[in-house]
Every structure is written in structure tokens, then in C-alpha cells.
């Protein structure tokens, strides 16, 4: 298919690997980093992958080694699966319009694709894209998508709707109304640690709600200028992407914000971000590049 250029690589030692090498009472383990919490998160640049002109709008990890990126290339909607270790393109798939947001269900190995306009697709992905199914084709614009416990959640205009993965013939069911706008990009994620939904609003807030739409908190300050993407750490920490190029953290209670990255390596505009399944790596997507950062605990 092709090879993408790797601009920079910085190897990092992970606490998990260290613990496997030494006995539990080893003095070496006392020198490892503390557990990650809101106050000590740092991002270490690992690698920038040159996408050779591909305009990325969204992405998702489908394994530790493969990330799927959606967007547009030469005015054609496209999705690419890329091995982040060797930068090779594993597979590609084209669409009639720009791919906007992606979500992946590991249990069913299903990839969900939200496109600009009203198109919503489901594909099977096991090293190649196959079995594409059109899940929605109406006049209502869709945006952010996420999967949790066999249910797909979708932002549709100013609502969140859901779809059971077991009943493929069912239509989308209404969950609750939102402050969203699907004319531009937005993000939707499940906070599994706290059993709730989080999304970015049309006025650049991060909104946290219960499954039935009861607002738990919403956060915005002067440093959050164009927040359109988010990803939730297993510890409940919310990673927020700002289109102006910065990445913020919001505490799980919605009371605090920290800027963890003021500017990216190559990206000027951040369109999307996502954590891998282990929450050890963050991928950031935008025009021409995908950047990978190791999620680490600082010492102070």
C-alpha cells in the first residue's frame, strides 16, 4: 500500500515493563514513577507520522499497533489503517464524503464511521476493512460517536441517540437533548469509571451528563477557545483537544483544568485525539500529520 515517513521517535520505559523484570521487593521499583493522577500527567512526544497530505479529521486505536484515521484526500472521503510501529498503511477505504469521527468496539471488532452530513456506517476490521453497512441515511447531521457495553452513542444535531449493536436492524433511539452543533466538529466519549457521557458543546464547553441527560457539570474557561474533541482516561481524567493546537486536562469532578500541551510538534490545528486501550498513549490528529504522545506521571 505505501510507507509513511516517521519524523521522530523517542523510546520510553514503562512502569509495567519494569515491574515484570524485577521482584516485588526490589529497590528498583521504588524508583519508578507514581501512579497517574490529574495533577501529575505529562505528555512525552513519541513520534510524528507524516500522512503525505492526508487531511485527518478523526482517529481511533483498533489495537496497540494500529490506528485508523479518517478524513479526506484529494476531495475524496477516506479512511486509512496505519501500523504506528513501521508507519505502513495496512488498508484503505473510500467514502462519498469526508470521514468525521470514528469509534471501535473491540468485542465485535466493529468500526463505526460518522461522516459529514448524515451518513453513519459500520464496518468489520480485522487487518482489513470489510462488510460495510449503512446504519443511518436521513437529513439529520451526525457528529461525535462512542461505544460502551454493546451500545453505540451518536450526536445527532442537538441530541444524543443510541443504537444496540446486537439488533442491527433497529433504528437510533433518543437519549436526551444537548447543546451540540453538528455543523462543526464535536466529541463524544463515555467516562466508564464514573458511568457517564461527556461531549463538547456548540459553545466549546465540556459537558458531563448522566445516561438520561441530567447535567453533572460543564466546564469552560478563557484557555479553551475551540474545544472539539475529547478522550477519557481510565482514571476519569478528561483529555480535551483545542483546534488552536493545545491539549488540556479536566479533572473528573469538572472543577479543575490544566494545560498539558500548549502546542504540538507539527500540527497547527488539532481536529481529534484519542487514548489507546491501556491509556498509555495519546494519538493526536490533524491536517497532514498524526502525533503520538506517551502518557506519563511526572515526579512533582
- Residue-wise DSSP of the chain: --BPPEEEE-----HHHHHHHS-TT-GGGGGSPPPP-GGGEEEEEEEEEEEEEEEEEEEEESSSSEEEEEEEETTEEEEEEEETTT-BEEEEEEESS-EEEEEEETTTTEEEEEESSSEEEEEEESSSEEEEEEEEESSS-EEEEEEETTEEEEEETTEEEEEESS-TTPPPEEEEE-S--TTS---EEEETTTTEEEEE-TTS-EEEE-TT--EEEEE--TT-SSEEEEEE-TTSPEEEEETTS-EEEE-TTSS-EEEEESS-SS-SS--EEEE-TTSSEEEEEEEEEEEEEEEEE---
The per-residue pLDDT for 14 is 47
- Convert the pLDDT of each residue in 208-266 to its tens digit: 999 999 999 999 999 999 999 999 999 999 999 999 999 999 999 999 999 999 999 99
Asked which of 20-29, 137-146, 200-209, 217-226 is least confident by mean pLDDT, the reply is 20-29
- Convert the pLDDT of each residue in 113-138 to its tens digit: 999 989 999 999 999 999 889 988 78
Answer yes or no: is pLDDT of 11 > 60.
no
- Look at residue 182 and tell me if it is in a domain: yes
- Convert the pLDDT of each residue in 56-106 to its tens digit: 999 999 999 999 999 999 999 999 999 999 999 999 999 999 999 999 999
Asked which of 33-47, 59-73, 273-287 is least confident by mean pLDDT, the reply is 33-47
- Look at residue 29 and tell me if it is in a domain: no
Range of the domain at 252: 6-23+35-297
- Look at residue 85 and tell me if it is in a domain: yes
- Look at residue 28 and tell me if it is in a domain: no
Q: What's the CATH code of the domain at 89?
A: 2.120.10.30
- Give the count of domains, the chain: 1
- Look at residue 220 and tell me if it is in a domain: yes
pTM of this structure:
0.88
- Look at residue 1 and tell me if it is in a domain: no
Amino acid at each position: 500500500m505505501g510507507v509513511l515517513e516517521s519524523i521522530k521517535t523517542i523510546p520510553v520505559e514503562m512502569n509495567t515493563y519494569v515491574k515484570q523484570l524485577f521482584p516485588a521487593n526490589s529497590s528498583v521499583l521504588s524508583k519508578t514513577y507514581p501512579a497517574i493522577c490529574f495533577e501529575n500527567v505529562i505528555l512525552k512526544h513519541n513520534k510524528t507520522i507524516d500522512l503525505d497530505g492526508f487531511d485527518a479529521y478523526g482517529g481511533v486505536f483498533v489495537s496497540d499497533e494500529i490506528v485508523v484515521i479518517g478524513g479526506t484526500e484529494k476531495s475524496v472521503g477516506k479512511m486509512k489503517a496505519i501500523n504506528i510501529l513501521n508507519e505502513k498503511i495496512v488498508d484503505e477505504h473510500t467514502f462519498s464524503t469526508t470521514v468525521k469521527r470514528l469509534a471501535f468496539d473491540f468485542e465485535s471488532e466493529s468500526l463505526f464511521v460518522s461522516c459529514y452530513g448524515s451518513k453513519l456506517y459500520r464496518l468489520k476490521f480485522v487487518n482489513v476493512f470489510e462488510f460495510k453497512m449503512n446504519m443511518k441515511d436521513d437529513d439529520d447531521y451526525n457528529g461525535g460517536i462512542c461505544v460502551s457495553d454493546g451500545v453505540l452513542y451518536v450526536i445527532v444535531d442537538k441530541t444524543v441517540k443510541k443504537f444496540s449493536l446486537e439488533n442491527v436492524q433497529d433504528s437510533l433511539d433518543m437519549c436526551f437533548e444537548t447543546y451540540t452543533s453538528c455543523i462543526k466538529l464535536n466529541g463524544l466519549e463515555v467516562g466508564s469509571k464514573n458511568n457517564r457521557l461527556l461531549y463538547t458543546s456548540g459553545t466549546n464547553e465540556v459537558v458531563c451528563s448522566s445516561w438520561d441527560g441530567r447535567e453533572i457539570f460543564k466546564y469552560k474557561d478563557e484557555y479553551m477557545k475551540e474545544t472539539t474533541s475529547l478522550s477519557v482516561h481510565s482514571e476519569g481524567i478528561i483529555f480535551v483537544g483545542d483546534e488552536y493546537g493545545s491539549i488540556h486536562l479536566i479533572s473528573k469532578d469538572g472543577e479543575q483544568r490544566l494545560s498539558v500541551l500548549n502546542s504540538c510538534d507539527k500540527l497547527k490545528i488539532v481536529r481529534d485525539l484519542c487514548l489507546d486501550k491501556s491509556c498509555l498513549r495519546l494519538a493526536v490528529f490533524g491536517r497532514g500529520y498524526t502525533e503520538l504522545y506517551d502518557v506519563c506521571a511526572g515526579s512533582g
